[in-house]
Amino acid sequence: VSTEQTERGLEEVVRLLGHFTPEVEPSRDDPGLFWVNATGLEGLFDSLDKWARLIQDALREKDLAASVVVGFSRFLTSAVAKARCGVTILADRTLEEAAARRVPLDRLSLHPPTREILKKLGVRTLGAFADLPPEGIAKRFGKEVKLLHRLARGEMHESFRPIELEEPPRKRLILDYAEKDIARLIFLIARNLDPLLEELAGRSQALCEVE
């Protein structure tokens, strides 16, 4: 898969997720991983479980398999998402931590040599990794593993950095009557289409279909 195809696919997922939340952050280091803000959305979707399943269904319609995890910590929820399929709701932080501790280390972004050394030490899960004493981690494995270790222990938290979602150009026309004449409807649509085309051109975009 080319880099261009990957980028187009990621942009498509971001746009799709934008239908379910105003705040989306694609991972800069792990393509295919996204964080979204679910705060305050229960009133719109009845429950976070329903919200998560609607996201999964929307991605499935695009022939994309997804693991959707609702929790509290960026790092722990992403770890659980890499180890599970389907929808997982972590109702409290205790459940989140317990689920994350069971995640196999081979699901995380560790260099294979580091992972092999940890396996020889009997460290095969995120929980066992978090339980390692912090002294000597950086000296033996380097700064990246030390950062991962601090995240696993809950000693540091990454801030949420959503990207600015570009709203599609819109033009709304409310008629005072029930229009049934196709020719008049096409005339009204065409008249209101011109300013939208100008806005698209200003974004270096183009219209590809009218439905």
| pLDDT, tens digit (0-9, with 9 covering 90-100), for 154-200 | 898 888 888 877 777 888 889 999 999 999 999 999 998 988 999 89
Q: Across-strand partners of 89?
A: 70
CA torsion, ordered 50, 6, 161, 29, to nearest 10 deg? 110
Helices and strands in the chain: count of H runs, count of E runs = 10, 4
Neighbours of 163 (CB within 10 A): 11
Binned at pLDDT 50, 70 and 90, residue 69 comes out as very high
Taking the C-alpha atoms of residue 54 and residue 168, their distance in angstroms, rounded to an integer, is 21
**pLDDT of 2-45, one tens digit each?**
888 888 899 999 999 998 998 999 998 888 999 999 988 888 88
> Closest Cα to residue 13, out of 94, 75, 68, 89?
68
| Global confidence as pTM | 0.75
Taking the C-alpha atoms of residue 143 and residue 147, their distance in angstroms, rounded to an integer, is 6
Neighbours of 203 (CB within 10 A): 10
Taking the C-alpha atoms of residue 100 and residue 108, their distance in angstroms, rounded to an integer, is 11
